[in-house]
Structures are given as structure tokens and as C-alpha cells.
Amino acid sequence: MSKSWGPHDIGGQEGGPIDLSEHDTAHWEWQIDAMVRLSLSKGLISDFAELRDGIEHLTQEDYDSCTYYERWAKSLAYTLVSRGVVSEQQLADKIDAVRARQEAQGLA
Amino acid sequence: MSTPLFSVGQQVRIADRTPPVHHRVPAYAKGQVGVIERVCKLHGEPEKFIRGDGKPAQRLYRVRIPQSGLWQGYDGTAGDDLDIEIFEHWLEPTE
């Protein structure tokens, strides 16, 4: 659809069956939710619309393969880096540190 | 407070454009003709403040579009409408 803006803009298109199964919110998903709300309340990001914009800039492949909070996480990381709150290097270092910790705990 | 450009009952067309930034007009509504159902309040408009141009308040309208005009072969109840809230700068008069 030529008028479509981003991978989310699919209103009216054939969408296939809807997954109605219940699922619990994982601890990391609450953490992402908390980070989003803290970033808003501390003024690090201006508005939910800014995060929406980040989500809508995901590639179709990323958008389709990510869950709800994975999209939030990607958008928050992108927004905080582009606003200079954290650097790409700091983010990469933290991801490495968390991965190493999880591997040490046998979680990854 | 700015004076509304459009009034209840007026026919309008929703602009057919796709700015590369979060905007609150779905693809299916672009280029559609509807009628102003009500004049809403002013709200912060996302396209500008995402670009870093502050958060100017813009007039919102509720626009009523017949479902039969939106979807090819619509076979729901006759007279079904879609009401959708659209910012003023997305609306143009049809005449």
C-alpha cells in the first residue's frame, strides 16, 4: 500500500488468525515498562509519540519478529542514543555485561 | 485559543500524504471524504515535536466517513460509519 507509513500501518488488510492465548508479563517486560515511564517522568524523552516514532521506524523484518516489549526496548534504546542520554558504546558495553552475567548464571 | 477552520456538518477531505514521521492518520483514511462530526479540543501535535519543533497545540476534529466508502465490497449494515479524530492541518475543504 503506497500510502502506508511503516510496518504498523496495516488497518483493513488481511491479518490472518488472532492469537488469543493468555501469557504472563515477564520480569524484563516490566523493567522495560518502568524504564519507559521513568524516561518520560525525568524528561529524557518528551512523549509516547517519540517512542511510537521509533517503533514505526523499525524495519518490517524487525517489527514482525519482535514482541510488544521488544519493540519498546528497541525504540527506547534508539531514542536514548539519538538524544545522547547514553552512547552507542555504553549501550553495547552494558549488553555485553548483561550477557556475560547471564552466561555465568547459566541463563543464556 | 485558535478559531476552528471547520464547522460541524462541513464536508472535508483528509490529505493524502505520508510524512516520514509518526502521524496519526492511518493509510486507509488518507484521501477519504467525510463530514465534521464534532469540533474537538486542541492537542499537542506529534509530527512537529518529534522533529524537535516544540509541541504546538493543534485543533482536532472528529470526522465521520461512511464505511462503504472505506472498504471495497463492504457488506455490513447500511449507514455504518467510521468516526476518526484528525488534526486540522490534515483536513482540506472539498469545495
Domains: count for chain B: 1
Contact B49 A5 (CB under 8 A): no
In a domain, B5, yes or no: no
Q: Which residues, in sequence order, are CB contacts of B67 under 8 Å at separation 6+?
A: B74, B76, B80, B81, B82
User: Picking from A1-5, A42-46, B2-6, which range would have the lowest pLDDT averaged per residue?
Assistant: A1-5
Rounded to the nearest integer, the mean pLDDT of chain A is 91
Cell of A73: 526496548
Q: How many Å apart are CA B9 and CA A79, to the nearest integer?
A: 41
Identify which of B19, B28, B49 has the shortest CB distance to residue A11.
B28
Q: Is the predicted pLDDT of residue A101 greater than 90, yes or no?
A: yes
- CA distance, residue B44 to nearest chain A CA (Å): 10
- CA distance, residue B28 to nearest chain A CA (Å): 7
Q: Is the predicted pLDDT of residue A23 greater than 90, yes or no?
A: no
User: Picking from A39-48, A95-104, B8-17, which range would have the lowest pLDDT averaged per residue?
Assistant: A39-48
pLDDT for the residue A1: 45
Mean pLDDT of B66-92: 94
In a domain, B87, yes or no: yes
In contact, B26 and A9? CB cutoff 8 Å = yes
Q: What is the ipTM of this complex?
A: 0.80
CATH number at residue B52: 2.30.30.50
Domain map (residue ranges) of chain A: 28-37+45-104
Contact B30 A50 (CB under 8 A): no
* B residues 54-93 closer than 8 Å to A (CB): 55, 70-71
Nearest CA in chain B to A12: B28
Q: What radius of gyration do chain A's Cα atoms show? A: 16
pLDDT for the residue B90: 96
Identify which of B22, B30, B44 has the shortest CB distance to residue A56.
B22
pLDDT for the residue B10: 98
pLDDT for the residue A2: 53
Instruction: Identify residue A105 by its one-letter amino acid code.
Output: Q
Contact B22 A3 (CB under 8 A): no
3-state secondary structure chain B: CCCCCCCCCCEEEECCCCCCCCCCCCHHHCCCEEEEEEEEEEEECHHHHHCCCCCCEEEEEEEEEEHHHHCCCCCCCCCCEEEEEEEHHHEEECC
- CA distance, residue A31 to nearest chain B CA (Å): 24
In a domain, B4, yes or no: no
A51: helix, strand or coil: helix
pLDDT tens, position by position, A31-71: 999 999 999 999 888 888 889 999 999 999 999 999 999 99
In a domain, B3, yes or no: no
Q: Is the predicted pLDDT of residue B84 greater than 60, yes or no?
A: yes
Domain limits for position B32: 11-93
Q: How many Å apart are CA A47 and CA A42, to the nearest integer?
A: 11
Q: How many Å apart are CA B28 and CA A8, to the nearest integer?
A: 12
Confidence of residue B95 (pLDDT cuts 50, 70, 90): confident
Vertex B39 angle, CA B36 and B40, to 5°:
130
Please give the helix or strand (H or E) that residue A103 lies within, else none.
helix A88-104
In a domain, B65, yes or no: yes
**From the centroid of its chain, how far is CA B55?**
19
Contact B44 A47 (CB under 8 A): yes
User: Picking from A14-18, A73-77, A86-90, which range would have the lowest pLDDT averaged per residue?
Assistant: A14-18
Between these two residues, B84 and A4, which has the higher pLDDT value?
A: B84
Rounded (10°) CA dihedral A90, A94, A96, A97 = 130
